[in-house]
Amino acid sequence: MADNVTSLFRGTAAHSPSMAALAREGGDGSGPVDFCIPCNPYFPTPAMFEDMAARLRDIITYYPSSADTITAELCNLLQLPPQAVAMGNGSTELITWIDHLLVRESLAVPVPTFGRWTDQPMETGKRVDMFPLQESGGFALDLAQYAEFIRARGTRVAVICNPNNPDGGFLPKHSLVQFMDAMADLDLIVIDESFLEFADAEAEPSVVQEAMLRPNVVVLRSLGKNFGLHGIRFGYLVANPSLAGRVRSMLPKWNLNSFAEHVVFMLKEHGAEYAQSLHQVRRDRLDMASQLSSLPGLTVYPSQGNFLFVRLPVGAEGTVVRDRMLTEHRILVRECGNKIGSSSRFLRLVVRPQVDVRRLMSGLEQVLYGTRRGAAVPEQATGTGYSSGTAAVDRLVSATNGAGIPGLAAQALDAGAPGLPLAPGTGTPLPAAAALTGGGGLPMPAPATQPPPQPAMAPQPAGLPQPAATPLRLGAPQPAGLPQPGPQSYGNQQSFGGRQPIGNQQPIGAPPSFGGQQPMGAPQSFGGPQQLPTAPAAQAPMPTQPPPLPATAPAAMTGPTPPGVPARGGLTAAQVRGATAPGQELAPAPATGWPNAQSWPNAAGMGQTG
């Protein structure tokens, strides 16, 4: 049974197998605890499910109303003009028609992201220009660099997912509006807001209203993800009436099924429950991130979606973790090795209630760190099984167990961590290499001193350095201002819409910097041999006794893999433990700007009901 279940994953290209397929192979017809499919676990309510069950016979027996009728009801609920909206049988149907009708020759998209944005255009022979999101930058999308990439490639269509899937990266509204203005000459700009209703960084983060005023912008929205009803298959796009009309004219008259119609017409009576479900997901996201960050070596990235993107400890293989979690603990997780721009060292974990998270934590602890014989994370050693897909990176990580340059950091540690200089304006210690450069970018030579003659000794091997954990504070909602990169920004560019660990944010309304330069910390020297002090020219006579044996290396630690060097923008166990010390407990994020019991989500930001 286990082989049958895990073989289902090998048969899929860019997505996970369906829950129905997993349930069939599971033997008892029941599916696993689902941390893979990103849906809302609190909506619909049990009463709504009972209502649908009572009307099941009529729902599946008769034809639905036309798509225009269902769309008109949704627009009345969301306060959108029907002529600017097209409803599809899931967002995938709309992506397909966007590709066929509005993408002529090329499309640019940051990766990793939702697979249909890369696969669909390639299936129809379009050129897909993939802009890689850097792990070293926390997978943050720099809009200035993305715009330069589009100009250099001559791409005609640009796609942005906000929040992005799988990492949950978020871009503030004003940054996206500036990007749309700067790219006004493109054939099309698509802003995929499928997960935006789970965000709480801004009161009104959607650009739907701005899209309706522009001739080349389409905003994609999901209903299945928000309402926890993926199987019903319904989503919608909002655009200038001309663009929306082109897509709507190609859709079948009955492209929406009776379940979709029933749900849309019952939503007006359940606005309060829907708003509460979003609020609860946001609270659970904070709690789940805190718990996951307590696992040694696991990095949790800040997310504004209803999922968390995590990097497994050094040496852990995602496919092994996924298969063991499923077969041994009946827990389904999303291993991201088949996503372009990611690797199997990353998992996407859907936010779920605490009772399920406790089960997830127990399973991960056993799979990652259980008995050493069966643990997915090997004993700490000088080499690891980590594979980044880049040989140079693998050599560095294998040589240092993910800890950085051994010699320079060890010298800094021997000299005492309190003496490390701080990065400007951050309070964060600079890397060991930067501490020894004097700001020039290269290691400074050791002062020329003549030690007294002594017996020749074998050099002691430098111990692996331990990274300094920077205390971070979880719990505060991310501000509306454009996040700026930390002192370790990637590529010597100031990030436009950069991403920082939770709690380390710019004040609300901070002005964006469109590709501005900023100083970069002194780089570390990768791969260069360390110079040892030369022996004095004149040596004292050798003692009669034989020279002492070379000192042996310290014994490898037998505990779990240490946190290592976290991805910039990520959270490590040490950081979260420092952030949640007594008196700094996590506070739930308020559902700022979202509907109260008397109103419904306002997708266009146009007036409020009730």
Tell which wins on pLDDT, 567 or 262.
262
Provide, rounded to the nearest whole percent, the portion of the chain with pLDDT above 90: 53
Q: Among the ranges 188-192, 252-256, 540-544, which has the highest mean pLDDT value?
A: 188-192
Compute the average pLDDT of residues 310-332.
95
C-beta of residue 345 within 8 angstroms of C-beta of residue 318 = yes
C-beta of residue 108 within 8 angstroms of C-beta of residue 161 = no
Could you tell me if 10 and 123 lie in one domain?
no
Could you tell me if 90 and 2 lie in one domain?
no
Give the span between the Cα atoms of 319 and 298, in whole angstroms.
16
Closest CA to 491 of 514, 528, 521, 526: 521
Could you tell me if 141 and 14 lie in one domain?
no
483 occurs within a structural domain: no
Could you tell me if 20 and 61 lie in one domain?
no
Residue ending a domain, among 246, 272, 298, is 272
Closest CA to 434 of 448, 445, 418, 422: 422
> Does the pLDDT of residue 146 top 80, yes or no?
yes
Could you tell me if 80 and 140 lie in one domain?
yes
Could you tell me if 73 and 184 lie in one domain?
yes
- At residue 370, the pLDDT reads 86
Residue ending a domain, among 272, 296, 322, is 272
Give the span between the Cα atoms of 361 and 480, in whole angstroms.
32
429 occurs within a structural domain: no
Range of the domain at 258: 46-272
**CATH number of the structural domain spanning residue 228:** 3.40.640.10
- At residue 31, the pLDDT reads 74
35: which strand partners?
333
> Does the pLDDT of residue 338 top 50, yes or no?
yes
106 occurs within a structural domain: yes
Compute the average pLDDT of residues 270-293.
97
Residue 230: pLDDT band with limits 50, 70, 90: confident
Domains: count for the chain:
2
440 occurs within a structural domain: no
Could you tell me if 1 and 147 lie in one domain?
no
Tell which wins on pLDDT, 11 or 321.
321
Q: Tens digit of pLDDT for each residue in 436-494?
A: 344 333 344 444 444 444 444 444 444 444 444 443 333 334 444 444 444 333 333 33
Question: What is the identity of the amino acid at 295?
Answer: L
Residue 228: pLDDT band with limits 50, 70, 90: confident
Give the span between the Cα atoms of 232 and 227, in whole angstroms.
10
Mean pLDDT of the chain: 73
Q: Tens digit of pLDDT for each residue in 495-548?
A: 334 454 443 334 333 444 433 334 333 334 334 444 444 444 444 445 455 455
Could you tell me if 141 and 25 lie in one domain?
no
Could you tell me if 113 and 183 lie in one domain?
yes
C-beta of residue 334 within 8 angstroms of C-beta of residue 39 = no
Could you tell me if 205 and 122 lie in one domain?
yes
Could you tell me if 135 and 264 lie in one domain?
yes
Residue given tokens 């379940």 in the structure block: 259
Q: Tens digit of pLDDT for each residue in 393-434?
A: 444 444 444 444 444 444 444 544 444 444 444 444 444 444
- At residue 376, the pLDDT reads 73
434 occurs within a structural domain: no
Residue ending a domain, among 272, 293, 313, is 272
Could you tell me if 24 and 114 lie in one domain?
no
HSE at residue 169, side-chain half, CA atoms within 13 A, is: 30
Compute the average pLDDT of residues 119-142.
97
> Does the pLDDT of residue 281 top 70, yes or no?
yes
